[in-house]
Structure 1
Amino acid sequence: MKLSGHYIRLRRQYPHITEHQEFFVTLDELAVQLDCTHRNVQLLLRKMQDEGWLTWTAERGRGRRSRLLFIQNADDMILSAAKELVERKDLRGALAQINVSTLPDTFKDSFHHWLNSYFGHRSEVKGSRRLDTLRFPLAQPLQSLDPATIHYTAEAHLVHQLFDPLVRYNRLTGAIEAHLAHAWEADESRTVWTFHLRKGVQFHHGRELTAEDVRYTFERLKRLAAGSLYSWIQQQIDGAEVLDPVTVSIRLTEPNELFLQFAGTNRASILPAEICEERQADFALAPVGTGPFKLTHYDGSVCVLDAFHNYFQGRAHLDRVELWHIPDMEKQDRDRTLESFQIIHNYRLADEAEHRWEQVQQQGTTCRFLTFNLLKQGPMNDPELRGLVCSALHRGRLLERLGGDAIFAGDSFIRHRNGLPHDAEPVPYSPEKLRMLVKRSGYAGQPLTLCTITNYERDALHVQALLREAGFAVEINLLTAQEFKSEQRLHADLLLFSIMLDNDAELRIIDLYKSMQRHLEPSVKAHVAKLTDKILREPSAWRRAEWLQAIESHLTARQMLCFLYFKRLKTLYHSSVRGIALDSLDWVQFKNIWFKP
């Protein structure tokens, strides 16, 4: 233990004694308090006195009481020690220091205010170089940075910084563009796709990318397909063949016109075969890619990305990006923390702060919606009762409860994706009339289970409240993201989903319909399966959109799909930030950011 730790421990043993108040104590007592020998106590006290933290006047003779006077405030010392730990990137240790119950709230507030100021852009000159660091806070800890196993948006964004796929989809032009592959073609059967790789692309550990890495990546995706996003495409991978060091062919079991789009997602990011095999499960938090940044530190609290000097599309302007997981970050005072950040996502500004910030209106949105598990026998097998559930979840009433200027009503994935207006919502039932209709329907108060993931608990509570007001008995079952992908959700009556409508919207909507087929009634399941098969064989984007709209209309007409709300994504950035550009998940691309001195 450091000397300051011994002082803090000793000081806490005498909370009733104030600084500069002399009192008497025996050496035996101090030995017990510090859990050490008499000799070590004397040594520690002398060192503390040399530091000016206390004065100690010893009295000779065993059992004699000596005079002790504390000078240094222990809370100030704790605060300083916590700041020192933060500077050493030991966030866990710093928070452990601060979160002791005896520390006054004013000191805890002081530390968090300092910690918030620690975020944002920092620039320092070392010799002939200027080093630029950008620090971001994270509300949740990272679970995985393996492209094949990521769950959350923040993880997907970091994968975008660490890895590269073969191609990229340009949302503005609707075209697939070259990336790790500079050219590609498909055979006449549309089941064999051949990619020609750029030469000289390096992984972070220094080895050059080869066709073998592409083969390994896609065959690994097939092995890990079960339960993953886009598993239906991964399961179609029949194999891959290395034709030469920079040419690889990927075989599919059947034609799929969306395979090239999939090859441009972060899920299909290319991995170094030998590193991934060597690290196995550890690769998830010790990844190696070809991206503009490489991971140099991660301890569960702090994630450090350093610019990759040999990136094939040019070095990033920033030297380092640090992401810090701050527990209970969302509970902190939003007004107090605002000035700490140069870039903020989905944040509602106070009116007086708007003039200091620029805003990017993003194309992507998320949509929350409800579906019904028709495999389970119960009240929800009645389409009339499902219609009353949807009426109880009138979007206008839900939006009033949720609040926020980025949330809006909507009734279609496809119309929203194509920029078309949504249909006007019908006049809502009054609560009294709705309760009467529920009683007349024959519903006898059978308990209904609403299942979703833990992240959507707030939405689930609002849905539960509205349904209970209408006379439905609803209980909530929260699962982890991984559990929700399993059969566990099929024990529930109602399922609360979310979908991100971004660059990959077409793939995501099809993925949703593939997932929904697990709990649709047989006739509807067959109809949805038939149309999705047609979509995957259709080269025309507008024809695919028509059939996707047909599936959506089929489900909504039969009260199997109930839209709740859409959430528009926004990015705010301070006037000092330059190079703002948004990637496929509508996060800022770290590679392009720079700061005007």
Structure 2
Amino acid sequence: MDTLNTHFIRLAGAEQLSFKLHEPVAVTIDSLSAALCCTPRNVKFILRKLEEQGFIHWQPGRGRGHHSKLTMLRSMNEALEASFTELLGKGKMKDAIELIGNVQMHDSLREQLMLSLHQQMGFHSHDETASGQDILRIMRSRQLGDLDPAFVYTAFETYLLSQVCNTLITYDAKSESFLPALAHMWECSEDHRLWTFYLRKGVRFHNGRVMTSRDVQATLQRLTDVHSPSIWLYRDIERAEVAGDYCIKFVLHRPNLFFLHLFSCIRMTILPYDYNVANTLVGTGPFQISELNEDVLELTAFDAYYGIRPHLDQVHFWFVPDLSPNDRYYELPGTDRLSLATGCDQTNSINYPALGCQYMLFNFHKEGIHHHPLFRQALRIVYDSVALVRDLGGNRITPASSFLPWRSAAQDWTAASLEHARELLHNCGYQGETITLSYKHNKDTDVAEWFQSRAQSIGMNISMQAVVDYFNSEETTNAQLILAEEILEEDWQYGMIHFFKNLSNHFHMCMSPAFQSLLDGKLDHFAKLHRADRTALLDEAEALLRDHCWILHGCHMNKQAELDQSIFGMQIAEFGYMDISKLWIKNP
């Protein structure tokens, strides 16, 4: 934005001119032209305007050999703050975010500007119309991932899809049962090989078209056509038969007692049969996407939603630079940061002990000493779950020996001995090779440094490799060790089997073919079993990982956020996020 503040910031930040507050500096028009990125003619115009507004004092040189002198009357911090305030006042959120991320400034000022930016987040009520518009703004410190249901993997994107789209049925974790959604009724044959769903009438997509069974059939077929990483779960389906606009039947090769779980998960969110992935996502959910670019995702309430229309009119997710975290911000799963308005003492707190855990994964597609079982046992001690929780604390609430907190709680915990790890290193033939550890920048830095320090204490050399995005980084797949976190769906059996069988996650990409084949053989008949037997089988699969140290469980996490007391209707959605379709603000 070409304003006086911007010109002053460029001028004050020019390293070659070395300005200091209230100290005259000899300059030339050519040097000022380079600093301001403009022609010499425009330099004089800009200098005159800056002097009129009290930014500088300008003393032009008189005659040959006499340099002009320029004195800064305001500090860089003052100009940055003024420019930032101006941008916010004009609603230019993108420019304000870019200013924080791209301009060099002191950490304390950056922190101050971040607080101001966060105060622009939260709820806002606009009275441009008679009815008013309630808007929620939320900041995220990473770019939005893939919103294609066939490929979505990360928790935040899965959560967003649940606000934009619907499935045939939903899973209720409290009762461990299924509830109607786009289908109001379903039934199956005695041998569990024929499943029939009866659809609601009058359900509309965001483009206005009425949903029919043809859309359901096309959604299933699309998983195969686009080679979805989740297609293994649907392998028992022989065909889908349209039996009228509002009835669809699924004929199976073999009995499947897990079938309903497959149609309540986000991968089978119903899309229009003519859906084009190049266009904006179209669903049947409470919110529709009104704008999507690299800076912001704007959701607007869908007035024709078949359920209860959201109280909020719009929700904006702004994607900001991944700046250093601050204690005033409390994270939800992923890297959401929501802040409190200044001076607000009363808050609503979200505490969500997440299903899943932080863990360490071995990349068996890379050569190295980590293929030796004794080396992995040594790392099990270095990455000790008890020591991890004890030493780092925070929202790391309990040690993990499983993705399931209740399984971990059943274990007797004692801290392991690093001296035993040293002996294991010696016995496996470790010769001081450098092992590369990949971890999420900012999010897992403290864990990575803690792990590196413990490893060094027994003579193990760990090279640290921070990445911004695990799922789009070649650096991650080039590391021997990966720090990761898995957050399971409330339908934890589905979450577990999907973790084991998802072809696109890091677990699959890092496992050796031999290990994967052994696991596949154990899980092959999973869907044929009743719930209790499926639970036992998943326990066996996790024991296989644990006994061979293919992955190392770390700790269970408590996901937290604090929000202003004026928020009403706060309910927890999947993965511990707020259900924005239920939120509302009490206007004065």
What TM-score, normalized to structure 2? 0.79
Displacement of 1:295 after TM fit?
Answer: 1.4
Does the C-alpha gap of structure 1 residues 102 and 507 become closer, same or farther in structure 2, counting only changes over 3 Å? closer
* Aligned pairs (5 A) from 1:359-438: 359-362=349-352, 364-370=354-360, 383-414=373-404, 416=406, 421-426=409-414, 428-429=416-417, 431-438=418-425
C-alpha deviation, 1:323, in angstroms: 1.2
Q: Is 1:544 the counterpart of 2:534 in the alignment?
A: yes
Partner of 1:535: 526
Within 2, Cα distance between the matches of 1:348 and 1:126? Answer: 26
Cα pair distance change 1:403/1:168, threshold 3 Å:
same
Q: Does residue 259 of structure 1 match 2:250?
A: no
Separation in 2, partners of 1:470, 1:388 = 10
Cα 1:24/1:554, change in 2 over 3 Å: closer
Q: Distance in 2 between matches of 1:346 and 1:116?
A: 12
Query: Is the 2:360–2:551 Cα contact (8 Å) retained in structure 1?
Result: yes
Q: Does the C-alpha gap of structure 1 residues 452 and 178 become closer, same or farther in structure 2, counting only changes over 3 Å?
A: farther
Q: Could you say if the C-alpha distance between residues 29 and 92 of structure 1 is closer, same or farther in structure 2, counting changes exceeding 3 Å?
A: same
Match of 2:578 in 1: 588
Give the deviation of 1:244 after TM superposition. Answer: 1.9
Q: Which amino acid aligns with 1:435?
A: R
Taking the aligned partners of 2:571 and 2:456, their CA distance within structure 1 comes to 44
Matched-pair contact (CA < 8 Å) for 1:448–1:494: no
Partner of 2:553: 563
Distance in 2, matches of 1:370 and 1:102, equals: 35
- Which secondary structure state, in structure 2, belongs to the residue aligned with residue 511 of structure 1? helix
Which of 300, 303, 312 is 2:306 aligned to? 312
Query: Once the 2 structures are TM-superposed, how far is the Cα of residue 541 of structure 1 from its aligned partner?
Result: 1.5
2:272 — aligned with what? 272
- The equivalent residue for 2:135 is 133
Cα deviation for residue 272 of structure 1 reads: 2.0
Q: Which residue of 1 aligns with 2:496?
A: 509
Instruction: Note the alpha carbon deviations across 1:373-432, whole angstroms, 9 max, x for none.
Output: 678887556555544432333222122333214431132345627xx8321124522x33
Aligned-residue CA RMSD in angstroms? Answer: 4.7
Matches within 5 A, 1:164-563: 164-226=166-228, 228=229, 230-274=230-274, 276-277=275-276, 280=277, 282-283=278-279, 286-329=280-323, 331-335=324-328, 356-362=346-352, 364-370=354-360, 383-414=373-404, 416=406, 421-426=409-414, 428-429=416-417, 431-439=418-426, 441-445=427-431, 447=433, 449=435, 454=440, 458=445, 459-475=447-463, 481-482=470-471, 496-514=483-501, 519=511, 528-538=519-529, 540-563=530-553
Pair 1:152 & 2:142 matched: no
> Normalising by the residue count of structure 1, what TM-score does the alignment of the two structures yield?
0.78
1:218, 1:237 within 8 Å by CA — same for their partners in 2? Answer: no
The CA deviation at 1:68 is 10
Name the CA shift for 1:29/1:265 in 2 (closer, same or farther; >3 Å): closer
For 1:207 and 1:30, the matched residues in 2 are separated by 60
Where in structure 2 are the equivalents of 1:83-122 lying within 5 Å? 83-86=85-88, 90-97=92-99, 108-122=110-124
CA distance in 1, matches of 2:92, 2:335: 26
**Matches of 1:332 and 1:583 in 2, distance apart?**
24
Partner-residue secondary structure (3-state), 2:113: helix
Following the alignment from structure 2 to structure 1, what is the Cα–Cα distance between the partners of residues 387 and 322?
29
Conserved 8 A contact 1:196-1:247: yes
Q: How do 1:1-40 and structure 2 match up within 5 A? A: 2=2, 4=4, 8=8, 35-36=38-39
Q: CA deviation at 1:504?
A: 2.8
> How many residues matched?
573
- State whether residues 363 and 502 of structure 1, in contact with CA within 8 Å, keep that contact through their aligned partners in structure 2: no
SS in 2 for 1:215: helix
Contact preservation (8 Å) 2:196, 2:250? yes
Identity of aligned residues (%): 23
Equivalent residue for 2:565, pick from 575, 578, 594: 575
Question: Using a 3 Å threshold, how does the CA distance of structure 1 residues 31 and 477 change in structure 2: closer, same or farther?
Answer: closer
CA distance, structure 2, for counterparts of residue 10 and residue 447 of structure 1 = 47
Inter-partner Cα distance in structure 2 for 1:487 and 1:10? 35
CA drift at 1:262: 2.1
How many Å separate the matches in 2 of 1:35 and 1:488? 43
User: Which shifted more, 125-134 or 174-183?
Assistant: 125-134
Compute the displacement of 1:173 (Å).
Answer: 0.8
Q: Distance in 2 between matches of 1:488 and 1:70?
A: 47
Per the TM alignment, residue 170 of structure 1 is displaced from its structure 2 partner at its CA by: 0.5
2:164–2:285 Cα contact (<8 Å) kept: yes
- Alpha-carbon distance, 1:583 to partner: 1.4
Task: Describe the superposition over 1:435-474 as per-residue Cα deviations: whole angstroms up to 9, x where unpaired.
Answer: 23542x2424264756656467534554444344344455
- 1:4 deviates by 3.9
Asked if structure 2 preserves the Cα contact closer than 8 Å seen for 1:167 and 1:180, the reply is yes
Query: Given the superposition, is the C-alpha separation of residues 496 and 55 from structure 1 closer, same or farther in structure 2, using an over 3 Å criterion?
Result: closer
Structure 1 residues 244, 222: closer, same or farther in 2, change over 3 A?
same
Residues 176 and 8 from structure 1, CA distance in 2 versus in 1: closer, same or farther, beyond 3 angstroms? Answer: same
